[in-house]
């Protein structure tokens, strides 16, 4: 009798342990309510960007090899005391003339450097490797980085911290006659995005920064390190460009170095 009771007790205990183990296994398979460890798939937006610089060569780009090379995996524009410029020069992408697009890249520039990314631009026939058109301005002292400056054309279309509307060039007036103090007279401030100096403080001098250009229709946005720096609504049909060449610049001035890497385009 005693052995029978012990046997029944063991069966009950084993059955209880089995139930607990099953419950434990089920609980392990369920996600925790406060778990933050999730694997997100690459979004359609991220996947649609394509690299336009291979990190090793300047294949697909055209520029003066005196000033452009690849160093440390980055497009490198360099002016030395022996190679001072008489006109701004560009490294121009040969893969097309984007219209509506987004461009993302990383940039680093020396303190005395002056550069920028041109887009929707035209070739200047009389000057080798020169472009005229919209530019996301970049400079080493961060006085102008993020603004929209139209190279060889209407000059400043929006300073950093501004959302602007660009009104049409009047009939009978030459383009350069409608420029005053290096800015387009038709520049109308629609909204202040932020304080110019405070926005400039978000840019890391002498270090890598990110730039993101969004061009859709007549709206042009420049972001640096994720912050909107300028926005232009171009309502000047005489001068507005809907597509054009894309290129990076080294500017006339003292010796300098600018570098670009991780250059990605979405059209």
Average pLDDT over all residues of the chain: 87
Cα–Cα distances (Å) from 238 to 150, 159, 164, 165, in that order, read 14, 22, 17, 15
CATH of the domain at 97: 2.60.120.560
- Identify the pLDDT of residue 47: 73
- Identify the pLDDT of residue 46: 65
Mean pLDDT for 24-53 is 53
Mean pLDDT for 119-140 is 97
- Whether 154 maps to a domain, the answer reads yes
In whole angstroms, what is the distance from residue 17 CA to residue 235 CA? 76
In the numeric block, the tokens 């000047």 are attached to 236
Residues 151-177 pLDDT 10s: 999 999 999 999 999 999 999 999 999
- Identify the pLDDT of residue 7: 43
Residues 87-109 pLDDT 10s: 999 999 999 999 999 999 999 99
- Identify the pLDDT of residue 8: 40
- Whether 20 maps to a domain, the answer reads no
* pLDDT over threshold 80, residue 6: no
- Whether 248 maps to a domain, the answer reads yes
- Whether 201 maps to a domain, the answer reads yes
In whole angstroms, what is the distance from residue 26 CA to residue 22 CA? 6
In whole angstroms, what is the distance from residue 110 CA to residue 108 CA? 7
Structural domain total, the chain = 1
- Domain of 147 in residue numbering reads as 44-266
């Amino acid at each position: 009798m005693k052995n029978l009771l012990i046997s029944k007790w063991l069966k009950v205990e084993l059955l209880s342990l089995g139930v607990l183990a099953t419950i434990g296994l089920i609980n392990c398979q369920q996600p925790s309510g406060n778990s933050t460890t999730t694997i997100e798939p690459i979004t359609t937006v991220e996947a649609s960007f394509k690299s336009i610089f291979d990190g090793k060569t300047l294949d697909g780009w055209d520029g003066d090899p005196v000033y452009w090379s690849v160093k440390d995996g980055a497009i490198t524009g360099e002016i030395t005391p022996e190679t001072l410029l008489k006109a701004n020069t560009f490294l121009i992408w040969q893969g097309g003339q984007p219209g509506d697009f987004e461009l993302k890249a990383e940039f680093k520039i020396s303190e005395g450097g002056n550069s920028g990314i041109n887009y929707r631009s035209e070739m200047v026939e009389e000057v080798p490797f020169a472009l005229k058109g919209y530019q996301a301005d970049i400079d080493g002292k961060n006085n102008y980085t993020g603004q929209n400056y139209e190279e060889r054309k209407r000059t400043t279309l929006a300073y950093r911290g501004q959302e602007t509307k660009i009104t049409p060039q009047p009939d009978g007036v030459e383009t350069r006659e409608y420029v005053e103090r290096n800015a387009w007279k038709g520049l109308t401030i629609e909204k202040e995005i932020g304080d110019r100096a405070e926005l400039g403080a978000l840019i890391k001098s002498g270090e890598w920064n990110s730039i993101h250009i969004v061009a859709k229709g007549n709206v042009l946005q420049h972001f640096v390190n994720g912050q909107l720096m300028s926005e232009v609504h171009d309502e000047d049909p005489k001068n507005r460009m809907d597509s054009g060449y894309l290129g990076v610049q080294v500017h006339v001035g003292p010796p300098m170095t600018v570098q670009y890497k991780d250059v990605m385009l979405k059209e």
